Structure formats: structure tokens, C-alpha cells
Amino acid sequence: MIASTIRKAVIAALWLAFLTFPLMVVKVNTLKDLVEWRWINLAWVLYSGFFASLVWQVLYQYRKTKKADDEDDPSLQGLSLGDRLMVSLKDPYVLVLLFALAYFVGLYPLVSFEFWRWSCKIALAVLAAKLAYKLFLVKKVRSCSAVMKESPLSKPILFAVLGIAVIYFPFSVDSYQVNIMVLALIYVVLGLGLNITVGLAGLLDLGYIAFFAVGAYTYGLLNTHFGLDFWICLPLGGLIGTFFGVLLGLPILRLRGDYLAIVTLGFGMIAHQVLTNWTDVFKGNLGIHKIERPGFFGMEMDLAQATTYTYFLVVLLVIGTIFVTNRLKDSRIGRAWMALREDEIACVAMGIDMARTKLSAYAFGAFWAGTVGVIFAARNTSINPNSFTFLESAIVLSIVVLGGMGSIFGVIIAALVMMLMPEYLRDIGEYRWLVFGAVMVLMMIFRPQGLIANQRRTYKYEGAKGEES
């Protein structure tokens, strides 16, 4: 078993080395006709490939057996410490953590990345916690959420703490960081909006960012040309976003699911090209400048104040989005969206108008993008087409996927992680997309429900018996 695992890992590492050889090792300077041989990279690939394969195999084995979560493991009870250790070592989480730790520690002295050191520490801490739990606390510890459910006070307390943190945040850090947070929150709204289209209704939209652009340019143009106020443009952005959603949705929602992906991707690219090339209106790559920040009854604000103000605006919008999505999720419309995602044929056979339901999900997603686009333009005060490329659509999509499709809480966490991580872990910056791409693949394979799985509402009902006639 162990021998074959290691053999497979070695083969995988060699195969990877073969695959990556021309790109990782060879580097050609075509201007000077020089070839650079970077043999150190070969060692990297072999080393990483070996560990990656180990982790992959453990996870894959675990996935196949589909064992339930190990929180409560009766098999550990009544065993000696040594035996418990042996059993624990067979636990996939422990194994994966061990491999990860070995991998990071093995190169610890060689790599100067901040990210590396952190990964190392985190892996060690989690491993220690996991082992300690396995070895000494065999009885099931009540999870946080269980405690929360039982205590009636815990929910208000949690919200209060969260609320204070949210309010206190802009006053505790400088305005640069507040500004970053505003951007992250804008992506929270985008994530929640796309979550409606993709997560709930299952319509893959690869051009979502186009609606974001619609909102941003609506405000940018109306403000710079006609001097229209932020507060007038905010609903306008949403409405025009919705309008475009309906306009584009009408011809394409009859299409098979897979075709939708390419056509929406096309719309995204069309939008970008129009913004770039129709210079008379959209000013091309230069973009639109001197857009006003949101006003507050004509009050004069300096930059820091304006940033803080924008922060609170976007927080309100996030709250609004959560509120609305939450209500929709467990409503007649939300259920129809989900049913559509699950099975279109059964859906129409149950009397649901497919075209209308699809259109509403698509347009409603567009509404949020349009609305938050206005805030984006107001935050940046200048906009250009480069903020609205396919990559941005991909960011929002990965937020939805990582967060757990359909799960509101998960999407928020994922958006914050994705937008803030590169900011605070600078040296992961350029590797960000490499990592996210890989994570998207791994997530689909090993944890398709996302970081936080979508919980379905449960209904309690006892009165039916009495009313049966």
C-alpha cells in the first residue's frame, strides 16, 4: 500500500518533470538567440510533484470511500495512546497535513516567501490541533454552531460583535486599507449577485462583469456629462443593468446550458471591445475621469472622510444584498430557480415557465452588478475598460464557486479572502491566479459544495393533520 503510493508519486513527479521541462527549464531569448537552462526548476517540479501526488492520492482515496466527517470517531474510544496515534495517522486530514508540513519544512531554509513561512506555521498549528484532538479528546466536542443554536442569546451577541467590528474598522486603520476593503466589499456584492445567476439558478454566466461595467459607465457618463448626482445614478445603474440583462437574456436563454457559457463570454468581450474602441463615447483606454464621489447633503469631505463614507455605503449595500438574497432563497421564486438548476425538464413539467424564470435570475443578477458598478465608479473616480475584462468575470465566478454555490455566507468569506489575500500576502500576488486556478479544479473534485455548503431551510409543521379534509 505504502510502497505503491510512493511508486505512484514518483511516477507522477517524473511525468510532471517531463511535462514541464520545456517551459520550466528552458528559456529562450529569441532576440539574442540565447538559451537559458534553469535546472533548479527541475528539482522544484520533482519535489513538489512528489508531494502533490501524495496528497492527491490520499484525498482521492478518501473521496472514493466517501466516509462521513470524522468529528465523532467511536473507533478511537478505549484505545491506548499509541494505538490512537496509529489510527490517527490513517486519517486523511492528518495525512494531508503531515505531507503539507513536510513539504513546507523541507524547503523552509531555501524559500524566503512570507507566504511560505505562514503556510508552514498554519499547517503545523492545524496538525497539532488535529492530533491533540484525536489523541486526547475522543469524545465529540460540540461544534461552535451547535452551541450557537442552543443558546438563544448567542445570535444577537454575534451580530453585535460583528456590527461593532464593521463600524470600528474604518476608524482603526488608514484610509488606504479602508479603500481596499471597499473594493473587497464591492466584490462581495458582485459575488452575491452572480450567486443568484450561477449558484441558485445554475446559469453559467461568464460575462457577468459586463453588467458591472454598465453600472460604472452609467454613473461615469451621466455624472461627467450631465452632472447627475450619485444618488440618482445608483438606482439608475441597477435599472440599466437589469435592462441589459433582459435585453441580452432574451435571445440566449433558450439556448442549451453549455452554449450559454460561450455566448455570455462573448457578451463580456463585446462589452470590453465597445468600451475600448468607441472612443467618442467611452473615451477608450483613457477612460472617464473626475467622477464625483458620493455626496452627503452637499457636505464637504476630505479624502479620508469620503473613503469612510463610501465604506459605509457599500456596507449598507452588502447588507441589503444579503437581506434580499436571503429572502429570495426561500421564496417561491428562489425555489423555482433552484429547481431549474436541478432539472429543467422536471421543472417545466411542474408548471414553471422556464424562459421567464431564467430571465428573472439573469436580470436580477445583472441588477446587483449594475448597482454596485455605480459605487465602483464613485470609489475610483475614474474608470477604464481594464477593470472589466474576462479575468474580473473569472474572479467573481471563482468567488461563487469557492464560497459554495448558493451559500451566502460562503460567498462573503470567499470574496474577502480572494480580494484581501493578495493585498496582505504581497509575495503571493503574482502566483495568485496560478493558485486560484488550481484551487478551482481541486475544489470541484474534492469539495464541490464549496467552503461553506449551502444549507437548505427546514420547515417545521405540525398542523396539517387537523386541517386535512
In the complex, what is the shortest distance from the CB of residue 180 to another protein, in angstroms, rounded to a whole number?
22
CA distances from 448 to 31, 57, 197, 396, 401 (A): 46, 18, 17, 17, 8
Angle, vertex CA 280, rays to CA 275 and CA 285, nearest 5: 45
As given in the structure block, the three cell numbers for residue 318 are 452588502
Of how many residues is the chain composed?
A: 469
> Strand, coil or helix: what is 166?
helix
Is 24 in contact with 45 (CB distance < 8 Å)?
A: yes
Q: From CA 193, how far away is CA 359, in angstroms rounded?
A: 14
Q: Taking the CA of residue 445 as centre, how many other CA atoms within 13 Å lie in the half-sphere pointing to its CB? A: 13
C-beta of 284 vs 295, nearer to another protein: 284
In the complex, what is the shortest distance from the CB of residue 270 to another protein, in angstroms, rounded to a whole number?
5
In the complex, what is the shortest distance from the CB of residue 398 to another protein, in angstroms, rounded to a whole number?
8
Q: From CA 216, how far away is CA 387, in angstroms rounded?
A: 10
In the complex, what is the shortest distance from the CB of residue 125 to another protein, in angstroms, rounded to a whole number?
28
Q: Taking the CA of residue 224 as centre, how many other CA atoms within 13 Å lie in the half-sphere pointing to its CB? A: 18
Give percent helix, percent strand, percent coil of the chain, each to the nearest 5: 75, 0, 25
C-beta of 307 vs 387, nearer to another protein: 387
Residue 130's nearest CA partner among 78, 76, 79 is: 76
In the complex, what is the shortest distance from the CB of residue 76 to another protein, in angstroms, rounded to a whole number?
27
Q: From CA 12, how far away is CA 15, in angstroms rounded?
A: 5
Quick count: other Cβ atoms within 10 Å of Cβ 312? 16
C-beta of 65 vs 172, nearer to another protein: 65
Residues 6 or more apart whose Cβ sits within 8 Å of residue 8: 53, 57
As given in the structure block, the three cell numbers for residue 460 are 417545521
C-beta of 339 vs 375, nearer to another protein: 339
Is 378 in contact with 294 (CB distance < 8 Å)?
A: yes
In the complex, what is the shortest distance from the CB of residue 39 to another protein, in angstroms, rounded to a whole number?
14
In the complex, what is the shortest distance from the CB of residue 182 to another protein, in angstroms, rounded to a whole number?
25
In the complex, what is the shortest distance from the CB of residue 169 to another protein, in angstroms, rounded to a whole number?
28
C-beta of 293 vs 341, nearer to another protein: 341
C-beta of 63 vs 225, nearer to another protein: 63
C-beta of 35 vs 299, nearer to another protein: 35
> Strand, coil or helix: what is 383?
strand
C-beta of 225 vs 356, nearer to another protein: 356
C-beta of 170 vs 403, nearer to another protein: 403
Q: From CA 45, how far away is CA 325, in angstroms rounded?
A: 44
In the complex, what is the shortest distance from the CB of residue 293 to another protein, in angstroms, rounded to a whole number?
29
In the complex, what is the shortest distance from the CB of residue 240 to another protein, in angstroms, rounded to a whole number?
18
C-beta of 204 vs 228, nearer to another protein: 204
Q: From CA 183, how far away is CA 241, in angstroms rounded?
A: 19
**Residues paired with residue 27 on neighbouring β-strands, in sequence order:** 36
